[in-house]
Amino acid sequence: MANNITTKPLEKKKKLSKKGQDPTYNKAAGPPNYSVIAESKEFKSLKRKKSKFILPITIFFLLSYILLPILTSYTTILNNNAFGDIAWVWVYALALFVMTWVLCMVYVRRANDFDKEAEIIFEKEKAGDYE
C-alpha cells in the first residue's frame, strides 16, 4: 500500500519592524476596540434584546422536556388514550420533537437579526463613531 501523504512547503517568516510589528499591519483594519463597544448603548441594547429572547425560550424548552418524565413517573394523566391505541404520552413526546425543530428555526431567524445588529455596531466602531 502506498502512503499518499502530501506536505506543504514551509511559509517564510515575515520580517518585523524594529518595534516588533508586521510592516503590512494596518491599524485602521486592526482588531475592534471591544471595551468601547461594550460601553456603547447600542451593544447594551442588543444584549438586552438577546436576553429577553433567549431566557424565556430556554425556560420553556427545559420545562417542556423536564415535564415529560415528571408526568410519566408521578401521574397517570398521560396514560389515557388520545385516539385509538395511541396514548397521550406518545403525542406529548412527538410534540417535543416538533417543538425542538420549531424553536431551532425561530432561534436561527432571530440570531441572524442579532448578527446584523452586531455587524452594524462593528462598522460604527470601525468608522470611529465610539471614540
pLDDT digits (tens, 9 = 90+) for 37-82: 888 899 999 999 999 999 999 999 999 999 999 999 999 988 888 8
φ/ψ (deg, to 5) at 116: -65, -45
Query: Above 90 in pLDDT, residue 100?
Result: yes
Instruction: Find how far residue 121's CA is from the centre of its chain.
Output: 18
Show the cell assigned to 47: 444584549
Q: Quick check: 34 and 118 in contact, CB under 8 A? A: no
Distance from the Cα of residue 114 to its chain's centroid: 10
Secondary structure (3-state) at 13: coil
Q: Of 6, 5, 39, which Cα lies nearest the Cα of 125?
A: 39
